[in-house]
Structure formats: structure tokens, C-alpha cells
Structure 1
Amino acid sequence: MALRDAELQELGDGALMVLFARGDHGAARLLTDRLLPRAWRHAARVLGDPAEAEDVAQEAMLRLWRAAPDWRQDGAAQPATWLHRVVANLAVDRLRRAGRSTGLDPEADPPDDAPGPEARMIDAGRRSALDAALATLPERQRQAVVLRHIEGMSNPEIAEILGIGVEAVESLTARGKRALRKALEGQKEALGYGD
């Protein structure tokens, strides 16, 4: 069984989708392990509510599984990109239905046991300040900044997720970074950045 798992680990997400469509539950489990945490983090950053983020991430994964039988491994979309686009759309729909643009919960990320209490407090303060500043951005800017600078995605991937051009992504992230810099400018010392 371990050899089988090792073989699956070598495969890309598209190949795992094809295997899942053929009934391979090991491929589904591995793909879920790879993609669900990223989908949840994306939703949590946009929605600011871990429970809502969990609902969105699960709904996005269900949609991914429903799309599996039609998935083409040689297609342009990668499962992770496709999933992030669904998460983005579901999160925006929830925000609009609720008529809100919410801040982000500093406890949305699971705690890391490695740093000491002081470092955790500083990190929590920084995360809280960042989340509050992110909440002030228009939703498209916020999504672009989160996907680029927190999730580490490329501009072409973000463009595909948001359904816009690469230049629009560059513009959104640049404006978002400027707005964040301005919002956080007076807090450098309080956040432990000094110079």
C-alpha cells in the first residue's frame, strides 16, 4: 500500500483527477489533502469566518469532484486553479448575499507551536493588523493580494481564477499593496518593525 501511495504522490493534480474519475479513492484522498487546506485558507482570508470558510471550501471541493468525469488532463486549467476560482466566486457570493465586506479573523490560521508566547503575540498582532487592513480593500483587490502574496500564486493563475487579464491582476495587486502600506504605515513600531 505504501508503494501505491508513493506512486500517487509523484502524480500531478490533473492526473489525480483523472484517476479519481475512474474510481480511484486513493487519488481523491491525496488530492483532497493537497487542495482542501489551500481552499480553506483562501476562503478564510476573504470571508474572515473560519466556519463559513469551511463551508465554502467543502462546496468548492464537491464541485471539483462533480467536474472530475469531464476533466481533461491536457486541458488548460489545473485543478488547484479551478478550485481557487470556485472558492473566489463562492466567497464573493456569500459576502454579497450578506451585504457585507468583513474583516478577517486572526485566529483563522491554526496556531504554530514552534514560536514562544512573545513571538506568537507579535505574530497575532501583525496578522490582526494585516487582516484589518485587508478588510478595507475592495473585494477584487483583496482577493488579488491574498492570492498573490499570501497564497503565493502567479499572476497568470490569479488572472484565470478571477476571470481577468494579467495586467488587471498586476494593477489590482499594486493598488492593494499601496493601500495596505498606507493603512499600516503608522503601526510599524507597534507591530515590532521599528526602522
Structure 2
Amino acid sequence: MASQQMTDAIDPSTSDAALLAAYAAGDSGAAQTLAARLLPGVLGQATRMLTDRIEAEDVAQDAMMRLWKIAPDWRDGEAQISTWLYRVVANLCTDRLRKRQRAGSVGMDQIAEPADPTPGVAEQMQTNARMTALSDALGQLPERQAQAVSLRHLEGLANPEIAEIMDISVRSVESLTARGKRALANLLAGRRATLGYDDD
């Protein structure tokens, strides 16, 4: 009950860094507020990169655990917490994509169930096949290329944001993204017809 009262008392405009500092000082209500604010984005990013909801939930949990662990050492002003989390999630997902690649391609039983049954079955299967093919191909790219392409084209972030997350220049982001897209196009070239891109 006390924790709930603390959560209710937290000003919604309180910054992420202030909430993390409050958590580090022992305020569990601050942690609940911060998790509610950040977790949907973290889970969404992991789901888009991995296409597997269960794996994405594992990554989201791992990323948040890492955040709680570094809370006492967080220095406000160095980076935004959301930026730090984007980087952590991208790294964790890239690691999993590489492990998948080494173990062989994803089996049908590992493909996430459609969240919304509204689209037709054939359309949903094609969407799943496309996302799985993209995810597999990302796992074959060099790590920095995979991160840049994911943040730009799956997360929809602008190049300056990606540069901040990856701690590189905007020019480097543009170069990584361009090379990554070319590599993906080559990796997926033989599957255009099967994935329904023959009319694109």
C-alpha cells in the first residue's frame, strides 16, 4: 500500500533520471513508474527485431534488470535513459539473432503467433515470413550494420538519434545504414518471389 501511495504521489513530469535516482535511493514506487513508462518501448523494439514475443519479453526483462543494476551509478546528463536502453536492447537482440543464425534458421513453431486475427490467414503468414526472413538476415550482418538498420528501419528513428544511441557520427550512421541495406537486399534477393515482393 505504501508503495502504491508513493507511485500515486510521483509527478508525471518527473524525468527518467530523477525516477532512477529515486529508485536507487530505495523508492520502489519510482521504479514502478519508470518501468511503466519505458517497458512498452523496450518490448516493442525487441519484438520488432526478433519477431518472437517470448524472446522479446526475455530481452525486455534483461534490459530492465541491467538498468536497475546500474541505477546507483547513473550520472544524470551523460545520456538519456531511453537512449541507453535502445542501445542495450539492440545489443541483446543482435546477440540472439547471431545465436539463431549459428543454430540454423527459425522453425515454424518459434514464429510468434499473430497478435491481431483481423488480417486474413494468408496475409498474416506472409507478414510473419517476411519478418522472420528479415530477422534472420539481420543476424548475418556485421553487428553495427544490424543495429543501424534496425534502429532506422524497424524503430523509425532519425539518424541523429541513432548516432547518439550508437555513440558515432551521423555520417557513420548513414554509411552503416546504406551498407546494411545493400547487404540485406543481397541476402534476401533469392527470396523476393516467395516473400511476395515480386510486384514491388
The letter for the 2-side match of 1:32 is A
The letter for the 1-side match of 2:67 is L
- Counterpart of 1:158? 162
Structure 1 position 31 matched with structure 2 position 48: no
Tell me, in whole angstroms, the C-alpha distance in 2 between the residues paired with 1:104 and 1:180: 17
Equivalent position to 1:190, from 181, 189, 194: 194
- How far did residue 145 of structure 1 move? 0.7
Residues 171-190 of structure 1 correspond to what in structure 2 (within 5 A)?
171-190=175-194
- Counterpart of 1:148? 152
- How far did residue 56 of structure 1 move? 4.1
- Counterpart of 1:80? 82
Tell me, in whole angstroms, the C-alpha distance in 2 between the residues paired with 1:117 and 1:175: 34
The letter for the 2-side match of 1:67 is I
Q: Report if aligned partners of 1:13, 1:31 keep a CA contact under 8 Å in 2.
A: yes
Equivalent position to 2:70, from 67, 71, 86: 67
Q: Report if aligned partners of 1:155, 1:166 keep a CA contact under 8 Å in 2.
A: yes
Residues 119-130 of structure 1 correspond to what in structure 2 (within 5 A)?
119-130=123-134
Residue 172 of structure 1 aligns to a residue in which SS? Answer: helix
TM-score normalized by the length of structure 1: 0.71
Tell me, in whole angstroms, the C-alpha distance in 2 between the residues paired with 1:101 and 1:139: 17
The letter for the 1-side match of 2:156 is G
Query: Structure 2: which 5+ runs fail to align?
Result: none
Equivalent position to 1:21, from 19, 24, 42: 24
Q: Report if aligned partners of 2:138, 2:184 keep a CA contact under 8 Å in 1.
A: yes
Q: Report if aligned partners of 1:45, 1:104 keep a CA contact under 8 Å in 2.
A: no
Query: Structure 1: which 5+ runs fail to align?
Result: none
- How far did residue 82 of structure 1 move? 0.9
Tell me, in whole angstroms, the C-alpha distance in 2 between the residues paired with 1:152 and 1:187: 24
Structure 1 residues 46 and 124: alpha-carbon distance in aligned structure 2, compared to 1, 3 A threshold: closer
Structure 1 residues 192 and 100: alpha-carbon distance in aligned structure 2, compared to 1, 3 A threshold: closer
TM-score normalized by the length of structure 2: 0.70
Tell me, in whole angstroms, the C-alpha distance in 2 between the residues paired with 1:93 and 1:155: 23
Q: Which digits, 9 at most, give the CA deviation of each residue in 1:91-119, with x for residues without a partner?
A: 56677899949756872586333323122
- How far did residue 138 of structure 1 move? 1.7
CA RMSD of aligned residues (A): 3.8
Residues 97-112 of structure 1 correspond to what in structure 2 (within 5 A)?
100=102, 107-108=111-112, 111-112=115-116
Structure 1 residues 143 and 132: alpha-carbon distance in aligned structure 2, compared to 1, 3 A threshold: same
> Taking every aligned residue pair, what percent have the same amino acid on both sides?
54
- How far did residue 183 of structure 1 move? 3.2
Count of residue correspondences: 193
Tell me, in whole angstroms, the C-alpha distance in 2 between the residues paired with 1:101 and 1:168: 31
